[in-house]
C-alpha cells in the first residue's frame, strides 16, 4: 500500500457517498479527511473526479493557503498522475489547478509566450521527463540533457516567473556491463546515473528543487514503480498503482513552498520512546538500548528524532504519566538519547491528549497544523484525528523498528533548504527556557527586559541572508501583517534597490543569538503620493513576542524612511486564518486607521513629523556581516 503512513478506512466508499450529499460548504473538511486515508489509485481518481465537479465552492472553502497552479511538463503520458497530485494538495488543505503540457512539447511551450502554458501562469513548473527522453536516443549524453534542462529552467524562471521542480530520472534501463557499468559512460544506464548526480550538484545554485524519483522508488523497488509493458502500451513511465505516492511527493514539495510543512514532532513515551510502561515497570524495567532487540529499536527511533531536532524540527512530549516518573527516564536512564534539554515542551499528566496538544501548540507559539503526533496507541491516535483533524497522526506500525521509516516516509518535515537558524533551533528553545527562568525571577517586566541586554542588529537584504529571509517570508503565518510570499528570485531582486527599504533584523541578548527574527519590506507608494513609504511586508518570529521588538523596529523603520525622503508610512493588515494576533498591530504602534474593508483588511498611516519613538530596552545597532559574526562568538 503506497500511502502506508495514513490510516485505512474500511467504509471509505460509503463515507464518500455520504460526503457527496452534503451542501458545498460542509464537504470540504470531509473530503480532506477522505484524502487523509490510505487510498489506492482508483479511490484517488474517484475522489478527484468528485472534487473537480464541486469546483469553485470547494476551492473557496479550502483556505489553508491560497489556490496554487502547477504546470506538469513532460515527454510521455502523465495524465494518470494528475488526480493524485491534486489530491495530495487536498490532503494538505489547499486547492491545486494542474495544467498538463502537450505530449513532448514542453520546450516549445516554455519558449513561446503565446502558448497555453503562459496563459495558465503557473506558480510552479514540474519537469517530469522520462528516462527514454533523457538517455534513450542515439547520441544522448549527460551534457546534452543537462544543457536542455538548464535552458528550460531559465525560461520557466525568468520568462514564465515560475518556481521549478525537476524530477530526477528514473533508472529504468538495463545495464550492459553489470556491476561496473560506470566503465561504459555512454550506456543509457550510466547516462541516467550521471544526469541524476549532476542534477543534485546543480539544482541548489540554479534555485531549482528536485523531486527525487530515483531514490524515492528504491523503497518499494523499480519493479513496483515501473512496468515496461505499460511503457510500451501507454507510455506511462510511472505505473498508475504508484500514482498516489508520486502525487503525495509533489504535494509535499508544493506545501513546503508555501511554508506548510510541519514543525514539531510530539512524542508519546511508553511503548513509543521506550518499550514498556514506566509507571508499572519502573526505571529499570523499561526496554531501551543495547541487549534487547525491542530496546534497540526504540533507541533507533530516539536517534532519528534527535537527528530531526538537529536540523530544526522541534520536539515535544505528550504522555499519560506522572510527571516525575516521565522525567526520571530523561534525567536518569543511561540509555536515553533524548534528554530534557532536547524537548521544547514536556507534558506528562492524565488529561486527554487533545487538550495537551493544544497546550503544546500555545506554549511553542505554533499552529496545531504544525504538529505531528507520534503515539503507539491506536485509541489516542483516533482521538486526535477526530478532535484535532489538523494535527498529522502517522499510523505507527506495531513494530517499533518501523517507527522512523514510517515518519520519514510520510514526509511531514519536507524542507527545501537548511539555514543556520534551522541547525540552531533546538539550542534556541533551550535558551528560551533560561530566559523564562530570568522572567520568573525578575519582579517586574521592565527589570526582566533590562536584564536581557538586548541588541537589535539590522542590515538591508543581502545575499548571505537570502535563504533565511526567503524562508521566513514563506513560513511565517501568525505575526505576519500581509502574508505576502516571495520566491528567492523575487527577494534577490530587492537587494540593492535604492528606493526600497529592506531590513533583516537579528536579536541578541545575554543568553545568546535569536537569529534573524523579523523582516521588513517597504516600497514607495505608486502615483502622486511620492512621500509615502508603503510597508509591503512586516513579519516577526513569535519567539520574540513581548520583548518590545515591534517598538524598536518601528523606530528603525522611521529613521530609514526619513533617509529615503518619506514623510509618511503606510501600513496594511490583510487578515488570514492565522494572523489575527496582529490585527491591531499598527493601532498599538500609534498609526491612524484610514480604511477598514468588509473582509477585515485595514490600512493605516503614520505621520513621521509628529512621531515619537517609545523608549525600549533594546539597543539598535547597524550590523555588517563581520559585526554579526563577532557577536555570535562573543556569546
Partner 1 sequence: MTTEQIYAKLTDIFRDVFDDESLVLTPELTASDVPGWDSFNHINLIVATEVQFKIKFKTAELESLRNVGHLVEVIASKVG
Q: Which residues bind partner 1 (CB under 8 A)?
A: 40-43, 45-46, 49, 79-80, 229-230, 232-234, 236, 239-241
Nearest-approach distance from CB 211 to partner 1, in angstroms: 22
Nearest-approach distance from CB 245 to partner 1, in angstroms: 14
Please tell me the number of Cα atoms within 13 Å of 532 on its side-chain side.
Answer: 14
CA–CA separation, 316 and 357 (whole Å): 9
CA–CA separation, 313 and 366 (whole Å): 12
Query: Which residue lies nearer to partner 1 by CB, 102 or 490?
Result: 102
Query: Which residue lies nearer to partner 1 by CB, 227 or 536?
Result: 227
Query: Which residue lies nearer to partner 1 by CB, 224 or 415?
Result: 224
Nearest-approach distance from CB 53 to partner 1, in angstroms: 11
Query: Which residue lies nearer to partner 1 by CB, 43 or 455?
Result: 43
Nearest-approach distance from CB 83 to partner 1, in angstroms: 10
Query: Which residue lies nearer to partner 1 by CB, 42 or 60?
Result: 42
Nearest-approach distance from CB 12 to partner 1, in angstroms: 11
Query: Which residue lies nearer to partner 1 by CB, 88 or 544?
Result: 88
Nearest-approach distance from CB 42 to partner 1, in angstroms: 5
Q: Which residue in this structure is represented by grid cell 528570485?
A: 489
- For 576-607, letters b (16+ CB in 10 Å) and e give bebbeebeebbeebbbeeeeeeeeeebbbebe
Nearest-approach distance from CB 30 to partner 1, in angstroms: 17
Query: Which residue lies nearer to partner 1 by CB, 242 or 544?
Result: 242
Query: Which residue lies nearer to partner 1 by CB, 40 or 322?
Result: 40
CA–CA separation, 356 and 343 (whole Å): 15
CA–CA separation, 340 and 527 (whole Å): 57
What does the block give as the cell for 554? 518601528
Residue 590 backbone class (left: φ over 0; alpha: ψ -120 to 50; beta: rest): left
Nearest-approach distance from CB 230 to partner 1, in angstroms: 7
Q: Are 628 and 457 in contact (CB under 8 A)?
A: yes
What does the block give as the cell for 476? 511565517
Alpha-carbon torsion, ordered 269, 413, 368, 3, to 10 deg = -80
Strands 568-573 and 512-524: unpaired
Query: Which residue lies nearer to partner 1 by CB, 104 or 447?
Result: 104
CA–CA separation, 151 and 106 (whole Å): 12
Nearest-approach distance from CB 518 to partner 1, in angstroms: 50
CA–CA separation, 538 and 532 (whole Å): 16
Which residues make beta-bridge pairs with 316? 266, 345
CA–CA separation, 27 and 19 (whole Å): 6
Strands 568-573 and 602-607: antiparallel
Amino acid at each position: 500500500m503506497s500511502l502506508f503512513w495514513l490510516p485505512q478506512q474500511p467504509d471509505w466508499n460509503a463515507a464518500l457517498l455520504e460526503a457527496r450529499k452534503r451542501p458545498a460548504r460542509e464537504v470540504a473538511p470531509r473530503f480532506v479527511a477522505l484524502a487523509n486515508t490510505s487510498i489506492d489509485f482508483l479511490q484517488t481518481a474517484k475522489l478527484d473526479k468528485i472534487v473537480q465537479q464541486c469546483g469553485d465552492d470547494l476551492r473557496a472553502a479550502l483556505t489553508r493557503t491560497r489556490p496554487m497552479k502547477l504546470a506538469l511538463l513532460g515527454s510521455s503520458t502523465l495524465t494518470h498522475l494528475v488526480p493524485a497530485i491534486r489530491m495530495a494538495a487536498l490532503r494538505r488543505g489547499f486547492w491545486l489547478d494542474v495544467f498538463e503540457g502537450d505530449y513532448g512539447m514542453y520546450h516549445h511551450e516554455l519558449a513561446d509566450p503565446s502558448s497555453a502554458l503562459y496563459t495558465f501562469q503557473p506558480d510552479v513548473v514540474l519537469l517530469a521527463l522520462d528516462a527514454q527522453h533523457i538517455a534513450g536516443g542515439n547520441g544522448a549524453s549527460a551534457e546534452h540533457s543537462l544543457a536542455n534542462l538548464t535552458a528550460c529552467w531559465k525560461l520557466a524562471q525568468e520568462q514564465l516567473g515560475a518556481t521549478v521542480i525537476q524530477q530526477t530520472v528514473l533508472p529504468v534501463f538495463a545495464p550492459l556491463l553489470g556491476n561496473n557499468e560506470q566503465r561504459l559512460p555512454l550506456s543509457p544506464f550510466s547516462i541516467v546515473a550521471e544526469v541524476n548526480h549532476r542534477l543534485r550538484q546543480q539544482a541548489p545554485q540554479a534555485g531549482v528543487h528536485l523531486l527525487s524519483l530515483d531514490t524515492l522508488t528504491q523503497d518499494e523497488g523499480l519493479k513496483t514503480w515501473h512496468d515496461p509493458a505499460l511503457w510500451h502500451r501507454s507510455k506511462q513511465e510511472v505505473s498508475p498503482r504508484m500514482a498516489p505516492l508520486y502525487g503525495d511527493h509533489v504535494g509535499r514539495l508544493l506545501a513546503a513552498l508555501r511554508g506548510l510543512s510541519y514543525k514539531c514532532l510530539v512524542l508519546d513515551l511508553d511503548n513509543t520512546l521506550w518499550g514498556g510502561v514506566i509507571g508499572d515497570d519502573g526505571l529499570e524495567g523499561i526496554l531501551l538500548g543495547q541487549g534487547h532487540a525491542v530496546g534497540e529499536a526504540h533507541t533507533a527511533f530516539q536517534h532519528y528524532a534527535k537527528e530531526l531536532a538537529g536540523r530544526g524540527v522541534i520536539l515535544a512530549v505528550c504522555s499519560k504519566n506522572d510527571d516525575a516518573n516521565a522525567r526520571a527516564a530523561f534525567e536518569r536512564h543511561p540509555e536515553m538519547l533524548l534528554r530534557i534539554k532536547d524537548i521544547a515542551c514536556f507534558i506528562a499528566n492524565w488529561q486527554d491528549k487533545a487538550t495537551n496538544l493544544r497546550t503544546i501548540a500555545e506554549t511553542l507559539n505554533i499552529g496545531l497544523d504544525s504538529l505531528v503526533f507520534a503515539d503507539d496507541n491506536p485509541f489516542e491516535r483516533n482521538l486526535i484525528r477526530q478532535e484535532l483533524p489538523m494535527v498529522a497522526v502517522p499510523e505507527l506500525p506495531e513494530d517499533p523498528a518501523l517507527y522512523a521509516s514510517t515518519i520519514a516516509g510520510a514526509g511531514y518535515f519536507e524542507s527545501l533548504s537548511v539555514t543556520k537558524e534551522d541547525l540552531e533551533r533546538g539550542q534556541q528553545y533551550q535558551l528560551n527556557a533560561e530566559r523564562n527562568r530570568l522572567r520568573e525571577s525578575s519582579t517586574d517586566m521592565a527589570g526582566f527586559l533590562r536584564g536581557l541586554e538586548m541588541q537589535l542588529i539590522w542590515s538591508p537584504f543581502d545575499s548571505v541572508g537570502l535563504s533565511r529571509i526567503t524562508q521566513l517570508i514563506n513560513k511565517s503565518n501568525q505575526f505576519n501583517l500581509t502574508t505576502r510570499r516571495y520566491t528567492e528570485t523575487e527577494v534577490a531582486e530587492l537587494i540593492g534597490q535604492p528606493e526600497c527599504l529592506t531590513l533583516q533584523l537579528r536579536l541578541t541578548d545575554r543568553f545568546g543569538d535569536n537569529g534573524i527574527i523579523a523582516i521588513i519590506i517597504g516600497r514607495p507608494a505608486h502615483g502622486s503620493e511620492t512621500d509615502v513609504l508603503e510597508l509591503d511586508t512586516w513579519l516577526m518570529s513569535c519567539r520574540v513576542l513581548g520583548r518590545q521588538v515591534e517598538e524598536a523596529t518601528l523606530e528603525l523603520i522611521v529613521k530609514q524612511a526619513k533617509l529615503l525622503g518619506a514623510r509618511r508610512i503606510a501600513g496594511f493588515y490583510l487578515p488570514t486564518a492565522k494572523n489575527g494576533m496582529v490585527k491591531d498591530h499598527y493601532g498599538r504602534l500609534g498609526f491612524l486607521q484610514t480604511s477598514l474593508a468588509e473582509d477585515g483588511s485595514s490600512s493605516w498611516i503614520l505621520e513621521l513629523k509628529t512621531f515619537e519613538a517609545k523608549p525600549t530596552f533594546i539597543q539598535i545597532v547597524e550590523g555588517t556581516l563581520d559585526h554579526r559574526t563577532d557577536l555570535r562568538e562573543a556569546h
